[in-house]
Amino acid sequence: MTEPCCMILTTTDDPQEAERMAELLVTRRLAACVQTTGITSRYIWKGKFTRQDETLLIIKTTTRLAIEVERAIRENHSYEVPEIIQVPIERGLDAYLQWIAESTL
């Protein structure tokens, strides 16, 4: 059985910050893969409606490393309260999940 894996989602309004964070997570072997894509977010922040172009990071890692990934995001993120959401991977191709486990610390 492979090690439990998860995806962690975060966003930033700075594409360069997204790139730096993705590279940091992969080179530190906290994530096997980080995908980035442009999105538009709409939300209420401090009582004001906001529409913001952002970059979504989809971080593939092991459940065991999720706390370390969260720490790295918080230490390197410009937002006062960054989105950090962990989504368990209930099922997936065994070979892919094994690759995630082998690619991380």
Query: What domains sit in the chain, N to C, each tagged with a CATH number?
Result: 5-103 (3.30.70.120)
- Report the amino acid identity of residue 87: V
Of 61, 55, 56, whose CA–CA distance to 7 is shortest?
61
The span from the first CA to the last CA of the chain, in angstroms, equals 18
Q: Tens digit of pLDDT for each residue in 76-98?
A: 999 999 999 999 999 999 999 99
pLDDT at res. 1: 60
Q: What is the pTM of this model?
A: 0.96
pLDDT digits (tens, 9 = 90+) for 15-63: 999 999 999 999 999 999 999 999 999 999 999 999 999 999 999 999 9
